[in-house]
Amino acid sequence: MGPELNLPVGYHEPVSISNSNIESAWISEFLASRRSTRDFLPTEVPADLLHQILADSLTAPSWSNTRPFKVAVATGEVRDRISADFLDRWQALSEIMEPGWRNKLRLLRNRRGLPAKNRSTAKSYVPELKPRAQRVGKELYEFVGVNRDDKQARDAQWAKNYSFFGAPVELFIFIHKSLHVYAASDAGLMMQNLIMSAHARGLGTCAQGSVNIWENVVRSEFEVSKDYRMICGIALGYPSKAKVNQFQAHRIDVSEMLLPPLKVKPE
């Protein structure tokens, strides 16, 4: 065992269990207690603790054990440079999105805020999924006191994505293009392990699709093979006691997840 870490306690209390005595009810309670953190303390995450969390992520199952993913860990000056570039691009993009033909002309002249070539997260949800996305957006904005008719307030709230909600660590997740959905599936399993390992140690996380649109910014700071593409980021650090960290998104019922069996046709 390594040296005992003297760590600050964040919003989530660290979890201590015995490997030989894990009650089944405990795991359900622990999993349900996880929530996205959207306001972090500036407290640095010790390097050995971060390494252990990343090591825990690799115990997840993988397609033929290929592990078709890479992680770029942004801290310190690298993290700050990426955040500053993101915020600058978001400012340009938010101005372009204002109504009016003059802004459309600005779009033609200045492509600064436009998404990189990989893809945009701003895709329309299909009718089956759209109500869920609308609900969580509405409930979150109401929870933090943002009026959805107030574009300036909405933009300010969204911009927090690009400061990584104040987290001192931002992880950028890349997957190998050759395995397509299977690489994304493996990355999701790895991310879940990582997120729950952080949660067990008193840290918070927020998975972020919003950072995906400017992959080129991340590539300017890390050596990334052209065979990989970025799918998301994860903000990681110690949660503050801000009200937003108490927000709990609605969870669908198990029945909504299950596919009904085909009706048996009479012979």
pLDDT digits (tens, 9 = 90+) for 151-182: 889 999 999 999 999 999 999 999 999 999 99
Mean pLDDT on 5-9: 48
d(CA 211, CA 27) in angstroms, rounded, equals 31
Q: How many CB atoms lie within 10 A of CB 75?
A: 18
> What pTM did the predictor assign?
0.85
Give the DSSP letter string of 132-180: HHHHHHHHHHHHTT--TT-HHHHHHHHHGGGGGGG-SEEEEEEEEGGGH
Q: What is the pLDDT of residue 123?
A: 66
pLDDT above 70 coverage of the chain, percent? 81
Question: What is the predicted pLDDT for the residue at 25?
Answer: 84
pLDDT in tens, 217-264: 999 999 999 999 999 999 999 999 999 999 999 999 999 999 999 987
Instruction: Kindly report, residue by residue over 16-27, the tens digit of the pLDDT.
Output: 555 545 677 899
In the chain, what are the domains? 38-244 (3.40.109.10)
* pLDDT for the residue numbered 106: 57
Average pLDDT of the segment spanning 59-82: 98
Sorting pLDDT into bands at 50, 70 and 90, what band is 197? very high
Question: So what's the pLDDT on residue 122?
Answer: 57
